[in-house]
Amino acid sequence: MITKTYFTVEQKTFNSPKGMGVWGWSKRSKETTDRAEAQRLLAEAAEYQANWIAQQLSESTDQANIDHLLKIQKNTEFRIVEEEKTFTHASYYGYSDVHAYEIVKIVSDKTIEVRKMDTEHDISHLKQYAGGFFGHVADQRNQKVTYASNPNAEVIRIRRKKNNPEEWGHAGLRFGLTQEPYAFYDYNF
């Protein structure tokens, strides 16, 4: 298992995911593993919001609009949310298919050993149409997949990439860490 801490900037907004006219928190940035970068993103978001409100206030002549902007200015907040994620699996991304692997051993913070899992893909509940090479499967992202550990599978070492610490590789293959097993078979390829 590999545990990583991610930071995200959130903004308290008037029209939130909870509904129109409701105050709530919305994500304002992508996830990052660097707290200093999250603080920089928070400062940028706060500055952008302050500049936008100042511009709107300078252009507005309607008192109701001005009052609304002042309410937003008074109540808008930003925060950094910290979330710990534990990765127990890896996925190998090969063209449009994804293969599930389980983490067997952590060698270092840059190297781990993984083993391919046995998977069974079920599309019997999905609509299938004539067309393409052998047919077309509608809504294939909803395929059912069952996973099983295979202690006899080959163990390989994957290493964290220098230019993108979220990606891992082995002999030109591209991997990503996941919190649960994930596999996908592209029936429409």
pLDDT attached to residue 132:
66
pLDDT > 90? residue 69: no
62-78: b (≥16 Cβ within 10 Å) or e: eeeeeeebeebeeebeb
pLDDT attached to residue 39:
94
- Tens digit of pLDDT for each residue in 112-134? 999 999 999 988 888 888 876 67
pLDDT > 90? residue 183: yes
The percentage of the chain sitting over the pLDDT mark of 90, rounded to a whole number, equals 45
- Tens digit of pLDDT for each residue in 74-106? 888 999 999 998 899 999 998 889 999 999 999
Q: What is the CA radius of gyration of the chain?
A: 23
> Is residue 35 classed as helix, strand or coil in its secondary structure?
helix
Angle at 136 between CA 132 and CA 138, to 5 degrees: 155
The rounded distance, in Å, linking the Cα atoms of 153 and 104 is 11
- Lowest mean pLDDT: which of 19-33, 57-71, 75-89, 144-158? 19-33
What mean pLDDT is predicted for residues 26-51?
90
pLDDT attached to residue 75:
85
pTM of the predicted model as reported, rounded to 2 decimal places:
0.69
Report which secondary-structure segment, H or E, holds 49.
Answer: helix 35-59
Higher pLDDT, 21 or 181: 181
Residue in 34, 33, 37, 42 with CA at minimum distance from that of residue 10:
42
